[in-house]
């Protein structure tokens, strides 16, 4: 949580100073400020006896599995929410940082981010196949959280526009298609 608040502070400073970081500098903070690592850690708390001190030590070490899941979350969020966030006054996004640094169009950034997201999913698969210090249920927890992020940011920002998510959940649970 301390890292999350520190990242928010840096982003607030960037916003107030109208500073546009490099894409790498942005991602360094944005992978923390997206909250994925904090959410992962908090989700371990309720998983019972399977979570021992070594599991928390592992997640605090910023393992690759958590990093690639955060990349998926952050880039998908940036793709679908940048326009809305900029209209309401928000810190510069990864889209804007990448466009400025590489002198490319928004469409080209979207294509590059999609490529990075696909690569992150591949990295996630590799991490799931490797032996690890933590039990598989904890790795599956990270995977499942990444799948939730994929659902929330697939085509639009369902996190901010809760009506989109409500429709999906309703169609799945309340009005399911029966075969």
Say how far apart CA 142 and CA 137 lie, in whole Å. 9
d(C-alpha 162, C-alpha 137), whole Å: 29
The verdict on domain 2-174 having CATH code 1.10.600.10 is yes
Residue partners of 36: CB distance under 8 A and separation at least 6: 66, 69, 70, 73, 74, 145, 149
Does 161 score more than 80 pLDDT?
no
Question: Which pLDDT tens digit goes with each residue over 3-30?
Answer: 899 998 998 899 889 898 999 999 999 9
Say if residues 64 and 109 touch (Cβ distance below 8 Å). no
Residue scoring higher pLDDT (1 or 71): 71
The pTM for the full model equals 0.83
Percent of the chain with pLDDT over 70: 87
pLDDT digit string, tens, across residues 36-82: 899 999 999 888 888 989 999 999 999 999 999 999 999 988 988 76
Report H helices in 19-105: 23-33, 36-45, 53-60, 64-88, 94-102
139 has pLDDT over 80? yes
């Amino acid at each position: 949580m301390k890292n999350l608040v520190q990242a928010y502070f840096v982003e607030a400073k960037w916003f107030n100073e109208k500073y546009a970081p490099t894409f790498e500098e942005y991602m360094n903070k944005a992978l923390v400020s997206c909250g994925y690592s904090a959410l992962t850690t908090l989700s371990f708390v309720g998983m019972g006896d399977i979570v021992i001190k070594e599991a928390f030590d592992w997640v605090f070490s910023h393992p690759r599995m958590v990093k690639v899941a955060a990349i998926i979350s952050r880039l998908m969020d940036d793709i679908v929410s940048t326009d809305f966030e900029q209209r309401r006054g928000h810190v510069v996004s990864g889209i804007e940082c990448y466009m400025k640094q590489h002198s490319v169009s928004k469409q080209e950034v979207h294509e590059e981010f999609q490529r990075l997201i696909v690569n992150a999913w591949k990295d996630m698969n590799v991490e799931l196949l490797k032996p690890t210090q933590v039990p598989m249920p904890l790795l599956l927890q990270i995977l499942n959280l990444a799948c939730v992020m994929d659902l929330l940011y697939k085509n639009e920002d369902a996190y901010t526009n809760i009506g989109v998510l409500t429709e999906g959940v309703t169609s799945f649970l309340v009005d399911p298609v029966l075969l």
